[in-house]
């Protein structure tokens, strides 16, 4: 059995500038759903999330036709740390690189499924800075509502 080849994930700002980049492998690709596995090779210190240890894994859920993605973070021992959800323009995938435009608003979901909506003020600020069209603003708001429903009713991928 061959080892899965890594792909690159690119998170960009609305103007196309790259914000973050990392490697992941494809765990599953079914229709519009792409599930990736990634492991942190270095420790990350995040203002909101605290320290993300080396060996922390993420299962990343991307839909090529939806305005959000979901990361399920587990500690090196495999215990769920939290889910982190991004509102974004639907990603593109060319077989080697998955790219998406991050629209700033996020949801942090704790293991008990309590959640916080984050960075709404950043969305408003960047909507003005980058001139988000009304359709982008409406789609982002609809995606936020849809994600909250998935969380509250424990629908995929929040059902594990």
Q: Give residue-wise pLDDT tens across range 65-115.
A: 999 999 999 888 888 999 999 999 999 999 999 999 999 999 999 999 999
Q: Note whether residue 144 is domain-resident.
A: yes
Q: How far apart are CA 89 and CA 111, in angstroms?
A: 26
Q: Note whether residue 104 is domain-resident.
A: yes
Nearest to 123 by CA among 66, 73, 44, 68: 68
Q: Note whether residue 1 is domain-resident.
A: no
For the chain, the domain total comes to 1
Residue 47 has pLDDT above 70, yes or no: yes
Q: Note whether residue 160 is domain-resident.
A: no
Non-local CB neighbours of 44 within 8 Å, separated by 6+ positions: 51, 52
Domain with 139, as residue range(s), is: 6-152
CB 147 within 8 A of CB 67: no
Q: What is the pLDDT of residue 2?
A: 64
Count of beta carbons in the 10 Å neighbourhood of residue 20:
9
Residue 31 has pLDDT above 90, yes or no: yes
Of the two residues 40 and 61, the one the predictor is more confident about is 61
pLDDT-above-70 percentage for the chain: 99
pLDDT-above-90 percentage for the chain: 78
Q: Note whether residue 60 is domain-resident.
A: yes
Q: Note whether residue 158 is domain-resident.
A: no
Q: What is the reported pTM?
A: 0.93
Average confidence (pLDDT) over 23-39: 96
The CATH number of whichever domain residue 56 belongs to comes to 2.40.380.10
């Amino acid at each position: 059995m061959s080892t899965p080849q890594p792909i690159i994930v690119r998170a960009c700002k609305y103007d196309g500038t790259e914000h973050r980049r990392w490697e992941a492998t494809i765990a599953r690709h079914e229709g519009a759903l792409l599930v990736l596995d990634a492991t942190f090779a270095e420790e990350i210190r995040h203002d909101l999330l605290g320290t993300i240890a080396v060996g922390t894994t993420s299962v990343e859920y991307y839909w090529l036709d939806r305005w959000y993605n979901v990361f399920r973070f587990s500690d090196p021992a495999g215990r769920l740390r939290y889910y982190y959800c991004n509102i974004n323009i639907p990603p593109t995938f060319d077989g080697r690189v998955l790219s998406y435009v991050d629209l700033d608003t996020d949801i942090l979901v704790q293991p008990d499924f309590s959640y916080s909506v984050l960075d709404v003020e950043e969305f408003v600020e960047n909507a003005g800075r980058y001139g988000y069209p009304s359709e982008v603003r409406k789609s982002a708001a609809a995606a936020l509502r849809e994600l909250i429903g998935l969380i509250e009713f424990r629908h995929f991928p929040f059902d594990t």
